[in-house]
Amino acid sequence: MLQKQISVFIENKRGRLADVTKCLGENGIDLSALSIADTTDFGILRLIVDKPEQAERALRDGGFAVSVTEVIALTVDDKPGGLADALRVIDECDINIEYMYAFNKRFEDKAAVILRVDKPTDALARLSCAAADLLGR
């Protein structure tokens, strides 16, 4: 299943990450995963949350620049080569992985990852056919 990812453009200044997480917390939104990529002046904070529509609204109302994209969340065997097996399925379909990051929760003996790919519907279909353990809400 495709999941909504919240991306927040934030200035690379002390306290801005705290401002985002405070806004989410005050609105009862729970974080499942996050990643931040930064440059000297700004960063892109990517979030997986339990209530993406509410998070988008709260962050916009809080003055943040926000966008929503679809990503794939799946678990892979937490062992050497577990991630490689899932990525091979995507590579065989000529689908490009734009970025990925991990969840902050564990799922028994599995590790969970978020993938942003250039053909999400195709990747999702191929992963489903390969019996990948896709996460959904």
Report the candidate in 6, 120, 117, 131 with the shortest Cα–Cα distance to residue 57: 6
Task: Give the pLDDT of residue 107.
Answer: 65
Q: Which CATH superfamily is domain 2-69 in?
A: VC0802-like (3.30.2130.10)
Domain parsing of the chain, residue ranges: 2-69, 71-96+105-134
Q: Tell me what pLDDT residue 106 has.
A: 62
| Domains 2-69 and 71-96+105-134 agree in fold | yes
pLDDT value of position 113:
77
Instruction: Assign residue 81 a region (left: φ > 0; alpha: ψ between -120 and 50; beta: otherwise).
Output: left
Three-state SS sequence of 61-109:
HCCCEEEEEEEEEEEEECCCCHHHHHHHHHHCCCCCEEEEEEECCCECC
The per-residue pLDDT for 137 is 45
What CATH number is given for 71-96+105-134 in this structure? 3.30.2130.10
**What pLDDT shows up at residue 84?**
93
Tell me, what's the pLDDT at 46? 95
pLDDT at res. 132: 80
Q: What is the mean pLDDT of each run of 10 residues along the chain (137 residues)?
A: 92 89 96 86 92 98 96 88 90 92 70 80 87 73
pLDDT at 69: 95
